Structure 1
């Protein structure tokens, strides 16, 4: 009788162990992945720590975090990736890539990216210089709260466009201007040939892949 009871307890224990393993596997398999919001918050936290010199790993892993989020369509991450390309934080300087990501974030409604895209069109940085587009994007950023963008837009209207009727027409266009409805920017990518870079620079274009110390 005692032997039967012990055998029964042993079998129950074994079955319970396998059941527990199966339950653990199921829980692990169905575990909810970390949300984009949580990953973005972590990336921003890591950026802040690195910026303050409190991380020994540097900006490279931080850039990788933001780039992954940008590739998944997060507009804030896209704007940050663009800025990190310009400030060379964890990645080499690249105006083309910066403008590429700012364009995506601008069309998604990020005021900061809209301003930066306007500056890119104003300076011909990664795109063909276009004062009309510069004005439209800067004014769009201004409507979304970027005070400095409005100042540059007004300066562009006065100094670069310098045509009251043309500025009036652009202002009328702004009434129907929708950032999300704009075509993607045409990014100019050129080979790393000094003569070609020089020609483009003379033409008013900042060649991509050229650092400030190379201009």
Structure 2
């Protein structure tokens, strides 16, 4: 069901029709497929194939995030950080970013690193900021590399490179 939804969503082998895709995503999501839940949430967020509905978006993102879908965890963190469909809550955002970051999501690692850098929803920590920004940078996240360089510990004068 999920794959049929993707085919209709992308126009692979059929005429592209997001409304039909959304129906297949919903069938699959109701049977517990986290990827379908994520795609269905996206449909509701963007108003593609259905009327824009942030409550339904949050419902499906939350269900998928609770099942361990790192894309959903990251996006749910962003919703809580930005107050999209829910009151802004940086601590909840950091909790979801952390779940996705631990699963290897580089954007969540970057967002969590920035949270630690500013103390947004977590106790401020340059050490943890460097850790998470470093993890994102290792995966090629350019902005993480730039931030990491800007907060690198300064060497005392007179001590050669270590």
TM-score, length-scaled by structure 1: 0.55
Q: How far apart, CA to CA, are the structure 1 residues paired with 2:155 and 2:73? A: 34
Other-structure match for 2:85: 90
How many equivalent residue pairs?
129
Other-structure match for 2:15: none
Indicate the structure (1 or 2) with the bigger Cα radius of gyration: 1
Say which structure, 1 or 2, has more relative contact order (CA 8 Å, 6+ apart). Answer: 1
Shift >3 Å, 4+ stretches: none
CA contact (8 A) 1:70 1:81 kept: yes
Spell out the pairing of 1:28-39 with structure 2 (5 A cutoff): 33-39=31-37
Q: Write out per-residue CA displacement over residues 79-117 of structure 1, whole angstroms, 9 at most, x where no aligned residue.
A: 000000112111000000000000010000000000011
What SS does structure 1 have at the residue aligned with 2:47?
Answer: helix
RMSD value, Cα: 2.3
Other-structure match for 1:144: 139
Q: What 5-or-longer segments of structure 1 have no aligned partner? A: 1-31, 169-215
Q: How far apart, CA to CA, are the structure 1 residues paired with 2:61 and 2:32? A: 15
Q: How far apart, CA to CA, are the structure 2 residues paired with 1:108 and 1:116? A: 14
Other-structure match for 1:67: 62
Q: How far apart, CA to CA, are the structure 2 residues paired with 1:108 and 1:60? A: 26
Other-structure match for 1:7: none
Other-structure match for 1:45: 43
Spell out the pairing of 1:187-198 with structure 2 (5 A cutoff): none
